[in-house]
Amino acid sequence: MPKISTEAFENLVVNKPDNFIIIFFNPGMGGSSLLRILIAHKELYHSFKNLGQGDYDDPIRYPDSWEGFSYQFPHPLTMKEQHLGCAHVSFHTPWDYTKKEGQKITEDFREYFSLVAQGETIVLKTHRFDLYNKFKKSRCIFVVQNTPLERNINLYERYSADNSEPVLDAFHSGNPSFLPPDVLKVDTNKLMSKDYDTFLSEYMKLVLKFGLTPRVNSVRAFILLWLEKQKRMLL
């Protein structure tokens, strides 16, 4: 089967908006962790092959055979830093790219067509807020933060050194420069909070918005371990 173009994939999202949830987030704001939390619910699609670990078929369970989830390359963070501080997946990111290589890194879009044909709901994530107007008929999430997540690394400096121009503006602006009133805003600083009630309130927004079967204890366990790993980033 011939490779499907980015344009064809984007037409799929436009024409089948109910099959997609799109997370828009600035780098360093926990968008990959939010994606893992969402796809850990049975109502939303995930596949074991995309989870970045070979131990458990659960997006929010860390592996036991090594320190964390698999790392991405190229990436401004080292392998160790990604293992400790990140929660990347190898799917769900159709607009990912690296300017350093001078070309787009694209996924095999054929899988998205197959999943839509099966009636699956797929969560996507992107740093590109400029795509919102094109795909706003899908259920969209904007990640916001009243205060930055406590992560022991200067992500801005790393992206600056990597010359990743498309994300530099995101670091300069902090929260998105525009917040459409009809878009769900998720504060990942609240979702990943040490305070249980703060976490629960933000998590239940997701549960109610998307009709999810709650996994409160499992999600909380993932978050607490994620927070611990952020502290160990510099070890």
Condensed to tens digits (0 to 9), the pLDDT of residues 20-50 reads: 999 999 888 889 999 999 999 999 999 999 9
DSSP H helices, the chain, are 6-15, 31-39, 79-85, 110-117, 132-135, 155-161, 165-173, 188-191, 196-210, 216-231
Residue ranges per domain, the chain? 6-234
> How far does the chain reach from its first CA to its final CA, in angstroms?
47
Banded pLDDT at 99 (limits 50, 70, 90): very low
pTM for the whole thing? Answer: 0.86
Q: For 2-26, what is each residue's pLDDT tens digit?
A: 678 889 999 999 999 999 999 999 8
> DSSP states of 24-74 as a string?
E--TTS-HHHHHHHHHTSTTS---GGGSS-SS-S-TT---SSSSSSPP-SS
Q: What angle do CA 158, 128, 2 make, to 5 degrees?
A: 105
pLDDT score of 154 more than 90: no
Say which residues have a Cβ less than 8 Å from residue 214's Cβ, sequence separation at least 6.
204, 207
More confident residue, 154 or 124: 124
Strand 139-144 versus strand 97-98 pairing type: unpaired
